[in-house]
Amino acid sequence: MDNNQLDPEFIDSIRGLASSIQQLTDDAYHIYEPQVDDIIRSQSKDMKQIEWLLTSMLDFCSNDNMLLLFKKLCRYVYFIDPEIAYFYVNQYREMWDNGEDVEP
């Protein structure tokens, strides 16, 4: 095999890994979405639960849907505790910043 060619088995394993990561991210979105909606609908101020959700969601914010859900919860939190909202926006920026603005 030429040094410039990648092993087809390696490429297939990377495809499988990428597919698994995408499925995990999709599953996470479907788990977190109703929780975020419940918090907002009930006007919950349970910051322990909210911060747990925001922290958990951060790992999946490379996904556009999850990022929108994260922003939605940050905007909600902003009116309860702006410092916490800014903290999580900054956490997002440290992990995922690609020049896109994320505002609470």
Kindly list the domain boundaries of the chain, sorted by start residue.
Answer: 8-96
pTM of the prediction? 0.80
Concatenating the DSSP letter of every residue in 79-90 gives TT-HHHHHHHHH
The pLDDT assigned to 100 comes to 55
Q: Contact, 29 vs 60, CB < 8 A?
A: yes
Q: What is the pLDDT of residue 97?
A: 81
In this prediction, residue 103 carries a pLDDT of 56
What pLDDT does residue 27 have?
94
Blockwise average pLDDT, block size 10, the chain, 104 residues: 72 84 91 98 97 96 94 97 96 81 53
Measured between alpha carbons, how far is 53 from 100 in angstroms, rounded to an integer?
A: 22
